[in-house]
């Protein structure tokens, strides 16, 4: 936006300079030139009238004093010459004047001749007839050097150029200031919107900056964020409330069935066991929903976490179980620290390692890899299970998704279908991303990209 405002301002300024200032300069310099010519012409008239009497009397001797009378009209180093009516030079200054006989003839025939000399130094040549009454008695010639004129024109153009540059500078400064005034609050609003989008629902925009429209926009944004927060809050409270409310009847049911269990014959007791199993499943589900509600409700509070050390600790904790199952648990990590909310990555790794151990056959291996690339750190957990189809990968982060063939009654936790949903939430709340892909000759790779810790 800064660029556009700058372009608009500079465009307008240049248009004004070209459309108005340049013609003004041209006009002014033409006017100066005309004035110069007029002055030169009147100087020649003064010379002609001074020379007139003497030319009429053929008294060349008195001509000099006549010329002296003309002096006041002379400027600086005007070159002058006087011709008599037959075209002979009567008097002329020290320098040679480039006067052609045709010009003299024209002047003697009654015309006033103005000629800008080819050599710009020489300036303007004016020839005019000298009259005695109505009779032409000779011609007066004045050549006035153009230097003062060109100086005047040059300083005019210099002034105009400086004015133009000042205008461009002013336009640039103003447009940058304007762009900042308009742009900064918009950029802040953008940052705020991004944070809101990332789940930081309490964030609000400043309504004290920028043009009124932006302030109004910030106000509207804040209203929207407030409503969103209330809505999401009530939704989460609802999930949590329902889960809590379910626990009391579940407790009553469980206690009742357990007591009944002792009073019935063994065949019926078997049925009751099944019912108790279902209650256990339901309780797990309630716990799971609460865990999801909690995960979704977490506010990011990232600190610097030594991911390498954390991963090594989790791997050490899980390795006895892996060893029992004859699964190799490998790590390949370079030193990396990330910005993450404390406790999140432990949960993430526990869930991922549990899943990986579930699908990896005896003799297989699981790799935990960490590597840093600029300001991102990739954490990868690769199992040697069967992998997932792309349809399964698309669904895997949804709540209640269970891997086909995963019997819900076998293990009531890992197949509640909430583990990956929680992992996804815990990663994204800290600004990370998570993806699943199949590794050729291996199994599923879970790839997590996290922000490297600053500094």
Partner 1 sequence: MAVGPDETAVPRANENPPTGLHVLVIEDDPAIGRQLERGLIRAGYGVSRAADGSQALLADPADVILLDLGLPDIDGLELCQRLRARSSAAIIAVTARSEEATRVATLDAGADDYLIKPFGFVELLARIRAVLRRINPIESGQLRHGSLTVDPRTRRVFVGDRDIALTPKEFDLLSCLAEDPGRALTRQEILERAWGGHWYGPSKVLDVHVASLRRKLGDPALIETVYGIGYRLASIE
**Where do contacts with partner 1 occur on this chain (CB under 8 A)?**
244-245, 247-259, 261-262, 266, 269-270, 272-273, 276-277, 279-281, 283-284, 287-288, 290-291, 294, 317-318, 320-321, 323-324, 347, 350-351, 353-355, 357-358, 409, 411-414, 419
What does 325-374 look like in DSSP terms, one character per residue?
TT-EEEEEE---EEEE-TTHHHHHHHHHHHHHHHHPPTT-EEEEEEEEET
318: alpha, beta or left, given left = phi > 0 and alpha = psi -120 to 50?
alpha
Residue 380 Cβ vs partner 1, minimum distance, rounded to whole Å = 19
Residue closer to partner 1 by CB (options 171, 295) is 295
Q: Who's near 63: CB < 8 A, 6+ residues apart?
A: 51, 54, 55, 82, 90, 91
Residue closer to partner 1 by CB (options 390, 409) is 409
Residue 250 Cβ vs partner 1, minimum distance, rounded to whole Å = 4
Residue whose token pair is 């011709």: 83
Residue 354 Cβ vs partner 1, minimum distance, rounded to whole Å = 3
Residue 263 Cβ vs partner 1, minimum distance, rounded to whole Å = 10
Residue 302 Cβ vs partner 1, minimum distance, rounded to whole Å = 20
Residue closer to partner 1 by CB (options 204, 284) is 284
Angle of the 419-429 helix axis to the 344-359 helix axis, nearest 10: 140
For residue 128, the cross-strand partners are: 140
Residue closer to partner 1 by CB (options 270, 361) is 270
Residue closer to partner 1 by CB (options 98, 284) is 284
Q: Do the Cβ atoms of 360 and 446 come closer than 8 Å?
A: no
CA 11 to chain centre: 20
Residue closer to partner 1 by CB (options 204, 254) is 254
Q: Do the Cβ atoms of 44 and 54 come closer than 8 Å?
A: no
Residue 316 Cβ vs partner 1, minimum distance, rounded to whole Å = 9
Residue 363 Cβ vs partner 1, minimum distance, rounded to whole Å = 17
Residue 80 has a CB neighbour count (10 Å cut-off) of: 22
For residue 141, the cross-strand partners are: 81, 127
Residue 203 Cβ vs partner 1, minimum distance, rounded to whole Å = 24
Burial 362-385 (b: 16+ CB within 10 A, else e): eebbbbbbbebeeeebbbbbbbbb
Residue whose token pair is 């299970």: 385
Residue closer to partner 1 by CB (options 414, 447) is 414
Residue closer to partner 1 by CB (options 113, 289) is 289
Tokens of 364: 């297989």
């Amino acid at each position: 936006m800064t660029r556009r405002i700058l372009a608009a301002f500079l465009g307008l300024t240049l248009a004004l300079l070209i459309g108005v200032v340049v013609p003004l300069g041209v006009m002014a310099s033409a006017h100066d030139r005309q004035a110069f010519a007029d002055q030169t012409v009147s100087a020649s008239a003064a010379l002609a009238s001074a020379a007139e009497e003497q030319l009429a009397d053929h008294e060349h001797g008195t001509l000099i004093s006549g010329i002296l009378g003309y002096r006041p009209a002379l400027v600086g180093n005007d070159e002058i010459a006087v011709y008599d009516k037959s075209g002979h030079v009567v008097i002329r200054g020290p320098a040679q004047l480039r006067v052609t006989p045709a010009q003299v003839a024209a002047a003697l025939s009654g015309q006033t001749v103005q000629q800008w000399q080819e050599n710009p130094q020489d300036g303007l040549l004016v020839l005019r007839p000298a009259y005695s009454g109505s009779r032409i008695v000779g011609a007066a010639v004045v050549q006035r050097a153009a230097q003062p004129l060109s100086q005047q024109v040059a300083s005019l153009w210099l002034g105009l150029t400086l004015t133009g540059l000042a205008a461009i500078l002013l336009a640039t400064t103003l447009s940058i200031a304007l762009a900042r005034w308009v742009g900064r609050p918009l950029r802040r609003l953008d940052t705020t919107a991004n944070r809101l989008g990332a789940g930081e629902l309490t964030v609000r925009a400043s309504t004290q900056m920028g043009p009124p429209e932006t302030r109004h926009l910030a106000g509207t944004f804040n209203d929207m964020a407030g409503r969103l927060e209330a809505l999401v809050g009530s939704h989460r409270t609802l999930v949590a409330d329902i889960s809590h409310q379910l626990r009391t009847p579940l407790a009553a049911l469980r206690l009742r069935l357990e007591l009944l269990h002792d009073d019935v014959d063994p065949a019926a007791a078997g049925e009751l066991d099944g019912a108790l199993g279902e209650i256990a499943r339901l309780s797990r589900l309630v716990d799971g929903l609460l865990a999801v509600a909690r995960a979704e409700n977490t506010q990011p509070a990232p600190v610097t976490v030594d991911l390498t050390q954390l991963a090594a600790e989790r791997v050490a904790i899980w390795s006895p179980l892996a060893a029992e199952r004859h699964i190799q648990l490998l790590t390949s990590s370079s030193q990396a620290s990330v910005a993450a909310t404390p406790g999140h990555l432990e949960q993430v790794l526990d869930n991922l390692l549990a899943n990986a151990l579930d699908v990896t056959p005896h003799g297989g291996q699981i790799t935990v890899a960490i590597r840093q690339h600029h300001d991102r750190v990739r954490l990868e957990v690769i199992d040697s299970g069967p992998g997932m189809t792309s349809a399964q990968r698309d669904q895997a982060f949804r709540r209640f998704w269970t891997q086909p063939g995963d019997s819900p009654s076998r293990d009531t936790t890992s197949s509640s279908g909430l583990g990956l949903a929680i992992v996804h939430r815990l990663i994204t709340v800290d600004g990370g991303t998570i993806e699943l892909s199949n590794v050729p000759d291996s199994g599923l790779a879970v790839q997590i990209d996290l922000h490297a810790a600053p500094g």
